[in-house]
């Protein structure tokens, strides 16, 4: 079950490329918008990189259930033997591998673009590593609620962006603290706690949402 | 067949109270009950608001620090309370609808959302107009206002989701799930926003900090809050009646009703 | 508390714009909500015209 979605994801290398491209593009828009002043860019870097990552991750959510819904596989999954929670988790993992992990890998490059202090690099990667899976899990709930609905993309964004706020605040807070030389333990622990909360709760909510959408 | 609301007088009639309750969970039997309740809530609402504003403008003293602009508090705080309270009630009915699979609960949640969103907007609007004379800017990213803004987004998300799905049952259930996910996240969002606010500002700017609130100010606020609460109940019951008429328009009792009240 | 006349009441110590701006918008919004509710109910009542063949109304 997991391998199926992973194989599909790996084959769609184009999706990884477009996600990364979007990530870099959005982040690059900010210096164009606010000016190249290094101090300003250094100050907004954690927020900009995090928001760009958040949006890039969100863009890929449409893919999570759409293809399977279109050809009827999703309905079969609901009736099938495998528990829905496992199916949903597999899809979340696949989504993160395409729309989360690449961002984590590319983030240090963007950090260099914004001249983020060296001390903050590791924390940036760590915060994204803890945060992007949480974003995927929460996003899955939104994607499941809007399966087959007209205008699902924007609607999903409207639904889950408010729910993304805690992760965004914790993630950027961690990087800001690292850049200022302060302790980051509390931030990363809270991020980890939120991720655990998401792992425990989100697949169940997503399954419930799928049942509502397809019954 | 018994009329809606009629209690069966069986030998085991000590359970009649419970039978009565579940009878009202059908749209048809709830409809007249809601209709009767609306004026009983609307009139006290108006009276309480008038009383509260009278206290607020003619009995409560001028604030030493803020002058007369503080009088906005008599709507701002009650509206904020209502915005949060209505969301909780909405989430409650959403949960009941999902668990017990009752149609009426989903309709009630739908009926509450617009009023909750309205009070959230009023809280934001009055907060902005209070902020300008007090802090110099129309918008302050303090924890309370920012949380209210996110709450407004949650309301809009609920309403957009319910409106986007064509099948009413699926729309109700999807929106209900979203409301529940939202209600669990609201404390998390609130605390993270509060934390964010203290991170970025030395002294946290709080529009509702009134350390020395005269008793009369508090009384005025409470009266208006109760008035808003009664208003919300009246308006939501009125709205759910319209929703019932729309959803149940294929039934005979609705046809009879519209014929009688055309 | 006595205001020194209507002028002082309206001026609100120089903050009249903010105070009245809040109150007027608030109660206007509440009034608009009630008005919209009444209109929605009237439309719903019209939806099922007396004597309409319900099945035909479905198809239209």
User: Each residue of B203-225: pLDDT tens digit?
Assistant: 444 555 555 677 888 899 999 99
Closest CA to A130 of A51, A70, A192, A64: A192
Phi, psi of B63 (to 5 degrees): -75, 140
Q: B215 touching A, CB under 8 A? A: no
Who has greater pLDDT, B128 or B135?
A: B128
**B14 pLDDT exceeds 60?**
no
Q: B182 touching A, CB under 8 A? A: yes
**pLDDT score recorded for residue B15:** 45
Q: C5 touching B, CB under 8 A? A: no
Tokens of B236: 């939501």
Q: A40 touching B, CB under 8 A? A: no
pLDDT above 70: percentage of residues in chain B: 85
Q: What is the pLDDT of residues A97-123, one digit of tens each?
A: 999 999 999 999 999 999 999 889 999
**pLDDT score recorded for residue B22:** 66
Tokens of A30: 């900010």
**C57 pLDDT exceeds 70?**
no
Give how far A7 is from chain B: nearest CA, Å: 31
**Contact list, B181 vs chain A (CB under 8 Å):** 141, 163, 205
Q: What is the pLDDT of residues A136-184, one digit of tens each?
A: 999 999 999 999 898 888 999 999 999 999 999 999 999 999 998 888 9
C1 and B60: CB-CB below 8 Å?
yes
When pLDDT is averaged across residues C44-60 and rounded to a whole number, the result is 57
Q: What is the pLDDT of residues A197-211, one digit of tens each?
A: 999 999 999 999 999
Mean pLDDT over the full length of chain A: 91
- B63 - beta bridge partners? B67
Per residue, the 3-state secondary structure of chain C, as one string, reads CCCCCHHHHHHHHHCHHHHHHHHHHHHHHHHHHHHHHHHHHHHHHHHCCCCCCHHHHHHC
**Would you tell me which residues 187-206 of chain A have a C-beta closer than 8 angstroms to some C-beta of chain B?**
194, 201, 205
pLDDT above 90: percentage of residues in chain B: 55
**Would you tell me which residues 125-144 of chain A have a C-beta closer than 8 angstroms to some C-beta of chain B?**
141
Strand ranges inside A47-206, DSSP E: none
Closest residue, chain A, to B199 (C-alpha) = A173
- Which of B160, B173, B199 has its CB closest to that of A173? B199
Can you give the pTM of this predicted structure? 0.88
Contact of A60 with A98, CB cutoff 8 Å: yes
Eight-class DSSP state of B208: T
When pLDDT is averaged across residues A46-51 and rounded to a whole number, the result is 96
Tokens of A87: 């199916």
Contact of B66 with B132, CB cutoff 8 Å: no
**pLDDT score recorded for residue C49:** 56
Contact of B52 with B222, CB cutoff 8 Å: yes
């Amino acid at each position: 079950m997991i391998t199926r979605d992973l194989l599909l994801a790996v084959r769609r290398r184009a999706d990884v490329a477009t996600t990364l491209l979007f990530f870099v593009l959005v982040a690059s828009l900010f210096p164009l918008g606010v000016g190249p002043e290094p101090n300003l860019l250094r100050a907004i870097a954690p927020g900009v990189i995090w928001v760009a990552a958040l949006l890039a991750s969100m863009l890929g959510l449409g893919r999570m259930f759409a293809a399977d819904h279109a050809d009827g596989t999703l309905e079969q999954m609901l009736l099938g033997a495998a528990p829905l929670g496992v199916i949903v988790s597999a899809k979340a993992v696949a989504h993160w591998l395409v729309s989360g992990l690449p961002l984590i890998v590319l983030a240090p490059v963007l950090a260099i673009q914004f001249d983020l202090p060296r001390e903050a690099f590791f924390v940036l990667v760590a915060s994204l590593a803890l945060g992007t899976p949480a974003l995927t899990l929460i996003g899955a709930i939104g994607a499941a609620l809007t399966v087959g609905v007209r205008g699902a993309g924007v609607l999903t964004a409207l639904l889950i962006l408010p729910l993304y706020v805690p992760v965004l605040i914790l993630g950027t807070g961690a990087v800001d603290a690292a850049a200022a030389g302060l302790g980051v333990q509390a931030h990363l622990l809270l991020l980890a706690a939120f991720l655990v909360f998401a792992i425990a709760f989100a697949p169940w909510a997503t399954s419930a949402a799928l049942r509502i959408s397809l019954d | 067949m018994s009329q809606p609301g009629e209690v069966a007088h069986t030998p085991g009639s000590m359970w009649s109270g419970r039978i009565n309750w579940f009878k009202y969970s059908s749209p048809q039997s709830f409809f007249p009950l809601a209709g009767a309740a609306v004026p009983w809530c609307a009139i006290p609402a108006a009276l309480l608001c008038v009383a509260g504003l009278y206290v607020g403008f003619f009995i409560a003293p001028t604030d030493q620090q803020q002058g007369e602009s503080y009088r906005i508090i008599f709507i701002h705080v009650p509206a904020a309370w209502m915005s949060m309270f209505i969301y909780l009630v909405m989430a409650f009915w959403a949960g009941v609808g999902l668990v017990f699979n009752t149609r009426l609960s989903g309709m009630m949640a739908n009926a509450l959302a617009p009023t909750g969103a309205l009070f959230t907007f009023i809280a934001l609007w009055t907060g902005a107009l209070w902020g300008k004379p007090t802090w110099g800017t129309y918008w302050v990213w303090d924890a309370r206002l920012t949380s209210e803004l996110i709450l407004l987004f949650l309301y809009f998300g609920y309403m957009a989701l319910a409106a986007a799905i064509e099948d009413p049952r699926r729309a109700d259930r999807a929106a209900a799930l979203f409301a529940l996910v939202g209600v669990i996240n609201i404390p998390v969002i609130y605390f993270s926003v509060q934390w964010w606010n203290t991170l970025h500002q030395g002294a946290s700017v709080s529009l509702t900090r009134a350390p020395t609130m005269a008793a009369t100010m508090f009384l005025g606020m409470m009266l208006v809050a109760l008035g808003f609460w009664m208003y919300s109940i009246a308006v939501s019951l009125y709205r759910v009646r319209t929703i019932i008429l729309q959803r149940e328009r294929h039934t005979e009792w609705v046809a009879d009703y519209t014929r009688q009240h055309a | 508390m006595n205001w020194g006349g209507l002028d002082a009441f309206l001026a609100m110590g120089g903050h009249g714009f903010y105070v009245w701006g809040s109150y007027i918008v608030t109660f206007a919004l509440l009034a608009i909500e009630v008005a919209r509710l009444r209109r929605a109910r009237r439309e719903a009542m019209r939806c099922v015209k007396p004597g309409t063949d319900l099945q035909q109304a479905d198809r239209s």
